[in-house]
Amino acid sequence: MDRTLETKAAIVTGAGRGIGRTIAERLAADGAKVVVNHPPGFAGAGDVAAAIQSAGGTALAVEADIADSIQRETLFERTLAAFGRLDILVNNAAFDPGPMEFLEVDEALYDRVLDVNLKAAFFCSQLAARILIRQGDGGRIINLSSLHARLNFPNYAPYSLSKGGIDAMTRQLAMDLARHRITVNAVAPGFIEVARTRSYFERYDRDKLGRGIPVGRVGFPRDVAALVAFLATDEAEFITGEVIRCDGGSGIRLSFEE
């Protein structure tokens, strides 16, 4: 890696596994000091921070349910206490309950999906923006959207709504924060091979699924992390308000069956 983020400090929410873990590892490899956030009771983030440190990077694991306002504030307080500043926020944390028929969705489930996926990202962005404005030298907010925000799949109503909200929030915050030299963008992954997506198939076949995607393969967390890492750099300072698909062309054509 080229150390393009040296001197930067970043928070990656939901970074204990999957895409979030790979984003945290990539930002650290590029020189950033990284706070690896994870929900209470999840031990994976400690392993991620340890792996980053073993590779020569700087990382801190912070347990916090970002849907809770007090724990959310503690996450940012601990970041400043450890690293003295914040430059990059990656709103990666998400709750995906999997497919569920619309008529079976209850209010508690709906609230949990929207609280984690959209409300928490909004208020994490607000906390980050206050810090970045106070520091006075700009910054980056990068949201994780989804193919679900643009293409509709059966029985994903709350999750799709939450990711559509992320797209709208990205554009709005980009407008509101541009004068402070804070860019706000979103990355929208398509089919990315992680444990959660594999679990949706009784018989997961990487090659078969890949044939239904225009570039001929499924995505991997490294694909998403590479795009996030670029958007975090100074070279991306003229890009804001964008929702960039990282989907191998799935937004153009997607055709696979289990």
The answer to whether 159 is a known catalytic residue is yes
- Go through 125-163 and write b for each residue having 16 or more CB atoms within 10 A of its CB, e for each that does not: bebbbebbbeeeeebbbbbbbbbbbbeeeeebbbbbbbb
Taking a C-beta distance cutoff of 8 angstroms, is the pair 55, 26 a contact?
no
Two tokens, residue 62: 């912070």
From the list 156, 159, 200, 204, the catalytic residue is 159
CB atoms within 10 A of CB 97: 13
The single-letter code of the amino acid at 41 is G
C-alpha span between 66 and 14 (Å, rounded):
9
The single-letter code of the amino acid at 39 is P
Taking a C-beta distance cutoff of 8 angstroms, is the pair 185, 241 a contact?
yes
Active site residues: 159
